[in-house]
Amino acid sequence: MPLLGFLFETPVCLVDEFREGNSSPGAGHLPFYRACQARMPHGKRIGAYRADSASYQAELLNALEADGVRWAITADQDAAVKGLIQRLPEEAWQEPVPGCGYEVAETVHTMNKSTHAFRLIVKRERRRQPDLLDQPGYIYHAVASNWPIELKTAHAVLDWHNQRGQAEHVHKELKAGFGLERMPCGDVWAHAVFFRLGVLAYNLFIGFKRLACPTAWAAHTIATVRWRLIQVAGRIVRHAGQIVLRLAVDAATLGRFRGIRQHCWALREVT
């Protein structure tokens, strides 16, 4: 069960931690955050942090506050959070967009060991299918955040927090594109090494796309780049005492290949 931290803008994987299947999802999030800080590019810092409920921990929230990081984390719906939700007045619930099918309200909350109070933003949606007791009700989703209300409304915080779901595209790329969908054996340490190699290959691929390939290729998956760059039909022939590679591509594509090759040589000279 790996724990991954991604830099949203790139998206490079800063830290990967391969864990045993019986490890608690909430274990070690503060050290993991510190490890991500240490891996940031020179002169850069983590300015914003978003995560699922496994990161809803007072010690992590305190560290984020101390570092001046804006954050939004899915809140555990424990007894305290459920009590706050039940006490929200009916007039507090508002549809962000008329007819959107859900309502949003917010209040202020704190944890026993947290040093700062924070916003608790709650989204509710009417249950479309009754439960076993045939009782109608609402489905609730709560997000804790320290974004100032003058910078982000409650609905804007939810939208920003939901962007964490884009990490699923990276997960898919790691699994389907780099062969991490299945582990090779039954040894957890061997799995950790295998997974680390896959993450390193993924990061190298991100660097290759951003530093050597055309700008339009930044969103390409490894499968697309294989198809457009590697899996190109060609033939090696001898002509006039020289060995020549003939590619079945047009002039524009050949120029693109030359540009990628030149960028790779330039990177070689820099390193």
Give the Cα separation of 55 and 53 in Å (integer): 5
Using DSSP's 3-state secondary structure scheme, residue 34 falls into: helix
pLDDT score of 136 = 64
Neighbours of 179 (CB within 10 A): 13
pLDDT score of 270 = 62
Give the Cα separation of 133 and 111 in Å (integer): 33
pLDDT score of 132 = 58
Domain ranges of the chain: 2-170, 188-270
Distances in whole angstroms, Cα of residue 116 to Cα of each of 22, 30, 228, 233: 32, 17, 51, 61
pLDDT score of 210 = 93
Longest dimension (CA), the chain: 86
Give the Cα separation of 261 and 253 in Å (integer): 12
Topology of the domain comprising 2-170: Transposase Inhibitor Protein From Tn5; Chain A, domain 1 (3.90.350)
Using DSSP's 3-state secondary structure scheme, residue 217 falls into: helix
73 strand-pairing partners: 51, 144
pLDDT score of 130 = 61
pLDDT score of 52 = 93
Q: Helices marked H in the chain — which ranges?
A: 29-38, 58-66, 79-87, 154-162, 167-172, 188-212, 222-225, 251-270
User: Are the beta carbons of 96 and 155 closer than 8 angstroms?
Assistant: yes
Local confidence pLDDT in tens for the 271 residues of the chain = 789 999 998 899 999 999 888 888 889 999 999 999 999 988 999 999 999 999 999 999 999 999 999 999 999 999 999 999 999 999 999 998 888 889 999 999 999 999 999 999 999 998 876 655 555 688 999 999 999 999 999 999 999 999 988 888 899 999 999 999 988 888 889 999 999 999 999 999 999 999 999 999 999 999 999 999 988 888 999 988 899 888 888 899 889 999 999 999 888 776 5
pLDDT score of 57 = 95
User: Are the beta carbons of 29 and 5 closer than 8 angstroms?
Assistant: no
